[in-house]
């Protein structure tokens, strides 16, 4: 049957040959063994003779270990790019016009699937303007990107043929402004690339935590290669615990909900790795770049949109499993009718989440935001008295956390004074991270605050049961 006609009657005993019924011009086929190849060729030639289709022997090749096909080299091991532009690309000068840059990028579109970090490297070139190129203003990063792409297109890696009988491996990676991933499979104990994908993050995604950006990379693999991997088991190597938390959490909200719904449809085996040295680098093939090397490239090629100030947002559930240090959680509350309030703060020692100190303080003539600020200040003072210099501070007051981070302005005089006190307290710490979390992850401080308001007196937690 041809692709140009329909409803041509076919004998019932003639099913598809080589797994397909329609061809346009060329036929390329491979087999796992010589005997299988001869058997498949026999079936194909019989079918061609039945339909009186002639074959040009001078243009045909049989029994080849690899064949050139549409600027690709296809073999039993996989597929490799043999771009026509590779011969002259080494000496190609940086284009002098925007059209020249676009022409270069257009020539790479056909081969970008062979460049692992293409969205990271090429982002700077996509942002160039004609005026910027002609004036030769601030082109250092663009020229560096251009040279990296020239080197990569000359030496593209081998991409393995996907084998749906084996599990697929996803290795996501993200930086401040891009998310990319490798889809691979394991052969003889080594993970080889099957496909690459990635994209530059949009303005909203730039402000996500790096762990959430890795989730975006995983979701992109599931979307782009859905037809390839659907129904197959998937192993995901990630540096963070968020992926597993999103799938299993019953308290997820916001953007995590649709992410969790999407991920729940897949057979995912989440494997957390602390660093590339933790066994992952040893089993990655030559076609997969170590993650820290991708970070080095990304830092030198940050596009204009990647320079947007992103808040250092993390969540308690995103702290590494082996995190060692001190965490301060605080909370505040106030009664509108009496303007009486309270605040609570807890110093935690990680790992283990053991309580170092927990106190509740009664407050007079305060608003809710006043009470929240007091909780933060009291907690910082507690940490200072214990000579703690490195601290992670968590609270469920978005206003207080983001004002201290400098992400939103503070206009109320009473809060400005509190903010100034916080800025002064910062000087006593060598490392201080502020984290906004949901109330569900701040229940201990919330409990102390509520009990203090009921007791109408300041107190210190001393009982183990408490």
pLDDT, tens digit, for every residue of 275-293? 555 556 656 665 666 655 5
Given a contact cutoff of 8 angstroms between Cβ atoms, the answer to whether 172 and 221 are in contact is: yes
Q: Which CATH superfamily is domain 316-460 in?
A: Ribonuclease H-like superfamily/Ribonuclease H (3.30.420.10)
- Rounded to whole angstroms, how far apart are CA atoms 143 and 152? 14
pLDDT of residue 127: 83
What residue spans define the domains of the chain? 1-63, 86-154, 161-307, 316-460
pLDDT digits (tens, 9 = 90+) for 94-113: 888 889 888 888 878 777 88
In Å, the largest CA–CA distance within the chain is: 98
Tell me what pLDDT residue 297 has.
54
Q: What is the pLDDT of residue 294?
A: 58
Q: What is the pLDDT of residues 293-309, one digit of tens each?
A: 555 555 555 555 554 44
In this predicted model, which residue has the larger pLDDT, 148 or 1? 148
- pTM score, two decimals? 0.59
Q: pLDDT by residue (tens digit) across 427-447?
A: 888 888 888 887 777 888 888
Task: Calculate Rg over the CA atoms of the chain.
Answer: 30
Q: Which of 189-198, 249-258, 420-429 has the lowest mean pLDDT?
A: 249-258
Give the count of beta carbons closer than 10 Å to the beta carbon of residue 125. 22
For 274-291, give the DSSP string: SSTTTTHHHHB-TTS--H
Top mean-pLDDT range of 107-111, 158-162, 411-415? 158-162
Listed in sequence order, the residues at least 6 apart from 204 whose beta carbon sits closer than 8 Å to its beta carbon are none
The highest-confidence range among 21-30, 160-169, 336-345, by mean pLDDT, is 160-169
CATH topology for 161-307 is Ubiquitin-like (UB roll) (3.10.20)
The DSSP code for 17 is B
């Amino acid at each position: 049957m041809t692709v140009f006609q329909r409803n041509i009657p076919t004998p019932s005993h003639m099913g598809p040959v080589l797994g397909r019924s329609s061809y346009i011009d060329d036929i390329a086929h491979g087999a796992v063994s010589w005997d299988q190849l001869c058997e498949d060729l026999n079936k194909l030639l019989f079918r061609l003779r039945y339909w009186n289709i002639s074959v040009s022997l001078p243009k045909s090749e049989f029994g080849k270990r690899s064949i050139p096909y549409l600027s690709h080299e296809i073999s039993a091991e996989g597929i490799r790019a043999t771009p026509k532009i590779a011969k002259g690309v080494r000496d190609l000068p940086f284009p002098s016009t925007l059209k020249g840059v676009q022409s270069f990028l257009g020539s790479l579109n056909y081969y970008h699937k062979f460049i692992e970090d293409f969205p990271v490297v090429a982002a700077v070139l996509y942002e160039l303007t004609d005026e910027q190129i002609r004036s030769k203003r601030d082109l250092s990063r663009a020229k560096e990107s251009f040279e990296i792409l020239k080197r990569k297109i000359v030496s593209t890696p081998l991409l393995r043929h996907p084998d749906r009988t084996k599990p697929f491996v996803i290795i996501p990676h993200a930086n401040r402004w891009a998310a990319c991933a490798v889809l691979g499979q394991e052969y003889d104990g080594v993970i080889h690339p099957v496909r690459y994908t990635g994209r530059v993050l949009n303005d909203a995604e730039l402000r996500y935590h790096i762990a959430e950006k890795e989730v975006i990379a995983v979701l992109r693999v599931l979307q782009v290669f859905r037809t390839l991997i659907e129904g197959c088991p998937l192993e995901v190597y990630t540096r963070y615990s968020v992926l597993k938390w999103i799938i299993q959490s019953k308290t997820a909200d916001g953007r995590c909900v649709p992410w969790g719904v999407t991920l729940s449809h897949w057979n995912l085996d989440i494997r957390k790795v602390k660093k590339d040295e933790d066994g992952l680098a040893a089993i990655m093939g030559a076609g997969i770049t170590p993650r820290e090397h991708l970070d080095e490239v990304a830092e030198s090629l940050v596009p204009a949109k990647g320079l947007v100030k992103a808040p250092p947002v993390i969540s308690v559930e995103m702290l590494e499993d082996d995190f060692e240090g001190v965490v301060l959680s605080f909370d505040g509350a106030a009664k509108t009718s009496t303007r009486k309030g309270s605040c609570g703060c807890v110093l935690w020692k990680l790992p283990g989440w053991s309580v170092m100190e927990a106190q509740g303080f009664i407050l007079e003539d305060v608003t809710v935001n006043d009470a929240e600020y007091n909780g933060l200040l009291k907690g910082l003072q507690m940490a200072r008295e214990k000579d703690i210099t490195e601290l992670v501070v968590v609270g469920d007051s978005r206003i207080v956390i983001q004002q201290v981070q400098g992400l939103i302005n503070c206009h109320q005089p009473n809060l400005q004074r509190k903010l100034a006190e916080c800025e002064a307290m910062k000087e006593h710490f060598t490392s201080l991270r502020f984290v906004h979390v949901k109330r569900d992850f701040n229940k201990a401080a919330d409990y102390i605050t509520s009990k203090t308001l009921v007791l109408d007196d300041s107190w210190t937690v001393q009982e183990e049961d408490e």
